[in-house]
Amino acid sequence: MKPKQSFSFEFKLEVVRRFLDGEATTAELAREYALSSPKLVETWVRKYRREGEDALRPKRRGRPPGAPEPPEGELSEVQRLRQENQRLAAENAYLKKLRALRAQGRK
């Protein structure tokens, strides 16, 4: 299988401008530039018309960077309260089990 080819911003912009100037059809441009399909040119033109030149620029791949984790010992109040809640829930479950075992031993 052939790897997916990527095209530079300048290349896409040139192809789109040639199409919009009426120099050639999508099929002719696809053939001239050895593109896989005229649909590729149509997609670039649609994006260009909708969002302008920036739509043709390469996009960053992957998950967008999130807020950095605070250093150890500097937990946010929400994180600190969640940890405390987990600890108290575990303690509560332990005490319930202990009471149940004691009650069972008395019978």
Domain boundaries, the chain: 9-56, 76-106
Return the number of other C-beta atoms located less than 10 Å from residue 33's C-beta: 15
Tell me what percent of the residues of the chain surpass a pLDDT of 70. 90
Residue among 38, 57, 60 at smallest CA distance from 47: 57
Residue 8: other Cβ atoms inside 10 A:
11
Has this prediction a pTM greater than 0.75?
no
H-helix or E-strand containing 10? helix 9-20
The answer for 34, left when phi > 0, alpha when psi is -120 to 50, beta otherwise, is left
> Average pLDDT of the chain?
88
Q: Is the pLDDT of residue 43 over 80?
A: yes
